[in-house]
Amino acid sequence: MTAGALQGRTALVTGGSRGIGAAISKALARAGAAVALNYRQRAGEAAALVDAIAKADGRAIAVEADVSQTDAVAKMVERVKSELGPIDILINNAGIAITRGIDDLSEANFDQTIAINLKSVFLCTQAVLPMMRAGKWGRIVNISSGAARGAGAIGPHYNASKAGVEGLTRGYAARLVKEGITVNAVAPSLIETDMMQGQQDLVSRIPLGRFGKAEEVAQAVMMLLDNPYMTGQTVAMSGGMAFN
């Protein structure tokens, strides 16, 4: 996507202060969007990213919210609208990965994973849709995972949450396609983020021979934002693991 292509657009990135979310936030700002990067705990990292975007002549704000909570989402969206304008682009990136074996997996682990990884996508999408519909234009990209279709290393609760994200993606896409709103997903596997620290042995599973980069996931997101004809799709990014 060219610089300035999203001038005049407002984007909200959940979990936008670090890792994949931070890479997406930077890419959106470079393309000219005003970016609201949501965070739950790491205020310092969020503030540092806002400063970095401002120094590169971009526009961004940091917004604290637990996106698994209805009231918090409503307040977040209202603040973004008042400070940056109506939200045109939503990147549902917030998520947690609690690694558990079947025998260690508790109901609380399951509920928390579903709430943060899946329910948040529903809550944020519902909250921004009135603005997108009013403008007859919208782009929603949900960050899934290779675990939506494969076994993964985190656990069945995580598999279920990400498979649900892809189900929501298709369900919303089918119902919004005539309103100028596209809904797609990106499903990365083994990306070099905090989650992969100390797990270098997993590289042996990747035919390409390295972890993916957060910036490469951001490139896929920007491709989807730029394509008005592509909707209801999941773009897998696995370094060749999908056909290994």
- Per-residue pLDDT averaged across 48-69, rounded? 98
In a domain, 4, yes or no: no
158 is catalytic: yes
Q: What is the DSSP letter of 33?
A: -
Does the structure show a pLDDT above 60 at 244? no
In a domain, 173, yes or no: yes
- Per-residue pLDDT averaged across 51-55, rounded? 97
pLDDT in tens, 70-96: 999 999 999 999 999 999 999 999 999
In a domain, 189, yes or no: yes
Distance of alpha carbon 12 from alpha carbon 19, whole angstroms:
16
Distance of alpha carbon 46 from alpha carbon 52, whole angstroms:
10
Report how many domains make up the chain: 1
In a domain, 132, yes or no: yes
In a domain, 64, yes or no: yes
In a domain, 1, yes or no: no
In a domain, 2, yes or no: no
> In terms of residue numbers, what domain contains 53?
10-243
- Residue 17's CATH number: 3.40.50.720
pLDDT in tens, 142-193: 999 998 998 888 999 999 999 999 999 999 999 999 999 999 999 998 888 7
Does the structure show a pLDDT above 90 at 239? no
What pTM was estimated for this model as a whole? 0.95
In a domain, 5, yes or no: no
Does the structure show a pLDDT above 90 at 243? no
Strand partners, 39: 64
Question: Which phi and psi (to 5°) does residue 61 adopt?
Answer: -135, 155
pLDDT in tens, 181-202: 999 999 998 888 766 666 777 7
